[in-house]
Amino acid sequence: MDRKTELLKIICKAGDADRVKAERLVEEVVFLEKNLAELRQLPFIKINPKDPTKQKATPAAKQYKELLQQYNNTMKLLLKISGDLGETEETSPLREWLNNRGKT
């Protein structure tokens, strides 16, 4: 079973209407997972050979960070579609205050 089929099986129940919404996101997750695995093979820190205390993030590290953020956001969307991440999220105090302020 490939990764796409595996994720769709976990997220969508049989005959689920959410399958259409989830399919594109699952393809995105599979793509991101593949790229993240490739980036993990590269060095993330470049060390100055003359002064080892001077270190610099490589382009691979920056790209990994960006892709990981996209991956996390996509997974949150998939969890929301599957119902595993429902209305249990807490509203921040600032948002509650703004909502109450807008009602008055």
The residue ranges of every structural domain in the chain are 3-103
DSSP the chain: --HHHHHHHHHS-TT-THHHHHHHHHHHHHHHHHHHHHHHTS-SEEE-SS-TT-EEE-HHHHHHHHHHHHHHHHHHHHHHHHTSS-TTSPPPHHHHHHHHHHH-
What does the pLDDT read at residue 13? 65
Partnered with residue 47 across adjacent β-strands are 55
What does the pLDDT read at residue 84? 66
pLDDT: which is higher, 98 or 18: 98
pLDDT digits 0-9 by tens, 1-58:
788 888 888 877 655 666 777 888 899 999 999 999 999 999 999 999 999 999 999 9
What does the pLDDT read at residue 87? 53
pLDDT digits 0-9 by tens, 66-90:
999 999 999 988 888 777 665 555 6
What does the pLDDT read at residue 66? 97
**How far is residue 70's CA from residue 74's CA, in Å, rounded to a whole number?**
6
